[in-house]
Structure 1
């Protein structure tokens, strides 16, 4: 029966399958690391933007004492503040979403694997890689979704701040 199994595999095909599975697994780990790194960098960047914005708020003086202007400026400032806080929340969510699974060495480095036919062992390990990549892909997609939402909200906050700042400067110089 063992001889029939060996004959059913084309010579070298199990090596190709295992190598491909390992390569895809390594690529997914790299994607995960890149996602974590860019999320951390972007979180630091939004922290700097938020700090600069708080400095701007603390130095702000009303150029006009009209109610309509006061409502406008409070709404803009609250919107920018909310955008930055919300984007920080999403970046932290991206960092904290799920744990990345790795190949279980206790399973692979075992006597049961060592006693099997080499081709069967290679396929079982390849299937382990495949299963882990599938499970990790869901975690990675959730991380990327939170990252994209956070980036979009941060960008909206920055654009709102830039527009508000320009309008404030025009009001200051015209009024």
Structure 2
């Protein structure tokens, strides 16, 4: 069913899923998980140098300064999220070094569609086998979210919902609505 096709991006794919959805509006939903959608390219500056080396290789660059100028500088979601047209779920760890919470809050606020964001208490970049979900991966719950969306059982509101999913809590479906203590761009800690 063409009306039930979703894009699900994980880690660096979380960036690409949102960029793709900003100009190709065929998908019925987009999920951007294990966040890497901040505007500062932390995957190239905070993560293992191997990520940048591999990306430079795939993009055909040997000169790092030229790569930074020609490619990395333009790898941002700023100015693109308002162009996404389908319901969107953002999934991030509270302390993800590749996407600080203030950047996730900014990305969420830039979306103008029905949306949700799940913030996992005390989690970092990998969101699998986590206590917040009884030892399960976030992917299982993302698929449940998509199933509920496509069956009409759960439709996010345009105003959005942010869930703070506690360790040993009720998961994303419980009473976990949260208002972050920061505004977009303000440091979380």
User: TM-score, normalization: structure 1?
Assistant: 0.23
Relative contact order higher in (CA < 8 Å, ≥ 6 apart):
1
Structure with the largest fraction of helix: 1
Larger radius of gyration: 1
- What TM-score does the superposition give when structure 2 sets the normalisation length? 0.22
Q: Which has the higher strand share?
A: 2
